[in-house]
Amino acid sequence: MTADLTALDLEEAGAVLATESARFASFGWMRGTSGNLSVVLGRDPLRLAVTASGHDKGELTPADVVLVDGNGAAVHEGKPSAEAELHARVAALTGAGAVVHVHTVASVALGHRHPGGIVFKDIEMLKGVGQPAHDVEVTLPVIANSQDMKVLGDRLEAAREPRMPAVVVAGHGLYVWGDTPRQARHHTEVVEWLLELELTRR
């Protein structure tokens, strides 16, 4: 552990992420061992608790997290998600306190259909991401996938829409963030609802 963070801090973060993971897994959004979540534990230097690699996200325990640095590398021990670097990039770029990555059918399908971004307008549910329900268009960015997290992070930074706390990675899934794990959960559920609505319209 680091000077400012204790094993108890990491365990408490693990308990929160285990609960959130079980919720998303119950929706079918984290099938198999897919998906990953993180919560920021410190800013100077940046430290995040990230779900460990290779675990069923519906069965996580408080111990199934890894402390990582601002580059997504394990600080002490354990194997974090392969996408931990992108979680750290999102946290640094947006100031988010928590990041959610899920693999939903709607996000993958619409990412293919709308490579330039998915536009939402005049939908009451937009209030769930802090936007007016009417007379404003909000675009959910879509970026091309890459196995290189630096490349993916650069694409996310270039495409990010500050009014939308999410981005779709084409052929992959959805990244969403918020100030807290609870807000990130709410944002994820709202954005996924918007995507499902758009999918049914087509």
pLDDT in tens, the chain (202 residues): 555 777 789 999 999 999 999 999 999 999 999 999 999 999 999 999 999 999 999 999 999 999 999 999 999 888 888 899 999 999 999 999 999 999 999 999 999 999 999 999 999 999 999 999 888 899 999 999 999 999 999 999 999 999 999 999 999 999 999 999 999 999 999 999 999 999 998 6
Distance, CA of 187 to CA of 193 (rounded, Å) = 10
Please tell me the predicted confidence (pLDDT) of residue 2. 54
Report whether 164 contacts 73 (CB < 8 A): no
Please tell me the predicted confidence (pLDDT) of residue 202. 65
Please tell me the predicted confidence (pLDDT) of residue 8. 81
Please tell me the predicted confidence (pLDDT) of residue 5. 76
Distance of CA 66 to the CA centre of its chain: 16
Structural domains of the chain in order of their starting residue, each with its CATH number: 7-201 (3.40.225.10)
Please tell me the predicted confidence (pLDDT) of residue 9. 92
**SS (HEC) of the chain:** CCCCCCHHHHHHHHHHHHHHHHHHHHCCCCCCCCCEEEEEEEECCEEEEEEECCCCCCCCCCCCEEEECCCCCECCCCCECCCHHHHHHHHHHHCCCEEEEECCHHHHHHHHHCCCCEEEECCHHHHHHCCCCCCCEEEECEECCCCCHHHHHHHHHHHCCCCCCEEEECCCEEEEEECCHHHHHHHHHHHHHHHHHHHHHC
Distance, CA of 181 to CA of 198 (rounded, Å) = 26
